[in-house]
Each structure stands twice: as C-alpha cells, then as structure tokens.
Amino acid sequence: MSDLQQVTQENVEFMIEAIKTKLRMASGAAMQASHFDIKQYEDIKDIYDLVASKPNFSISEVEALVSEIGKLRLK
C-alpha cells in the first residue's frame, strides 16, 4: 500500500482507482486518474478516506460522491 501522506501523482491515481472500485462506478472509464491535478490532493484524500471507511453506500451517497469527484476533475 502507498504512503498516502506523500503528495504524489501516483497516490492520486491510487486513490481514484480505489474510489472507482469501491463505488463500483459504471462510468469509471470516464474518470481517469490523469484527469485530476495534484493540487486537489487533500480533497481527493478526504473522499478516499470517507469511501474507505464505509462498507457500502446508498445510491444517493454514490451519486453525491461521484458529483464531488467530478468537481475536482481538470476542466
């Protein structure tokens, strides 16, 4: 496992992939780790920590999380 205290692009990629897997995102292919800037590291880590802390999510929770992740994507 990565040391997520280190702010690296590799950790951004790891967290995005883990979030996509945990949320079983059907549109996961559209959310590529390369679409996220390291400047959003803390926000991505917050979402990652939340996703990792819960065993499952309601549909509305998944929609809210996906929306938040979408806001962090590079334009």
Residue 3 lies in a domain: no
Residue 27 lies in a domain: yes
- What pLDDT is attached to residue 30? 64
Report how far residue 25's alpha carbon sits from residue 75's, in angstroms, rounded to the nearest whole number. 21
Report how far residue 26's alpha carbon sits from residue 31's, in angstroms, rounded to the nearest whole number. 10
Residue 4 lies in a domain: no
* Residues found in the chain: 75
Relative orientation angle of helices 9-23 and 41-53, to the nearest 10 degrees: 30
End-to-end CA distance of the chain: 30
Its domain, for residue 28, covers: 9-72
Report how far residue 41's alpha carbon sits from residue 25's, in angstroms, rounded to the nearest whole number. 21
Count of domains for the chain: 1
- pLDDT of 8-59, one tens digit each? 999 999 999 899 888 886 566 667 888 898 999 999 999 999 999 999 999 9
- pTM of the full predicted structure? 0.84
- What pLDDT is attached to residue 24? 80
